[in-house]
Amino acid sequence: MRGAKFIDTNIGVYAHLRSPNEPRHPIALDFISTLDNGVISPQVMIEYYNVMLRSGQNDAWIQENLHKILSYVRQQPLNDAVVHRTWAIRNRYHFSIWDSQIIATALEAGCDHL
């Protein structure tokens, strides 16, 4: 799928955590809401959940925001192809296993932007 864009954790965090000194909030919110070919992974969703919990947000609020994000993007499942590609990326480039999984998921989803 050409043109797919992988959404990393920080995009969701900046879109939903408002701070008077955070110029990335409106940019991230606009990016997500105008996205027509976005992809997210289970890993990113769990990372987002964890960051939001640590910032003091409650479960209902976090889950509502994840539902909103999922209305704009599709979720790439963690499957055997992603796992094997993760290992290959890790072995070749020596990235962290978590970064390797993000890259593998984006590639398996056909993303050309990460």
User: So where are the chain's domains?
Assistant: 4-113
Is the CB of residue 108 less than 8 Å from the CB of residue 76? yes
The reported pLDDT for the residue numbered 20 is 66
Cα separation, 58 vs 26, in Å, equals 22
Local confidence pLDDT in tens for the 114 residues of the chain: 457 999 999 999 998 887 767 888 888 888 877 888 899 999 999 999 999 999 999 999 999 999 988 988 999 999 999 999 999 999 999 999 999 999 999 999 999 988
* Cα dihedral sign, 6-9-12-15: negative
Q: Determine how many CB atoms are found less than 10 A away from the CB of residue 69.
A: 23
Cα separation, 29 vs 25, in Å, equals 6
DSSP code for 50:
H
- What is the assigned CATH class of domain 4-113? alpha beta
pTM listed for this prediction: 0.87
What distance, in Å, lies between the first and last C-alpha atoms of the chain?
14
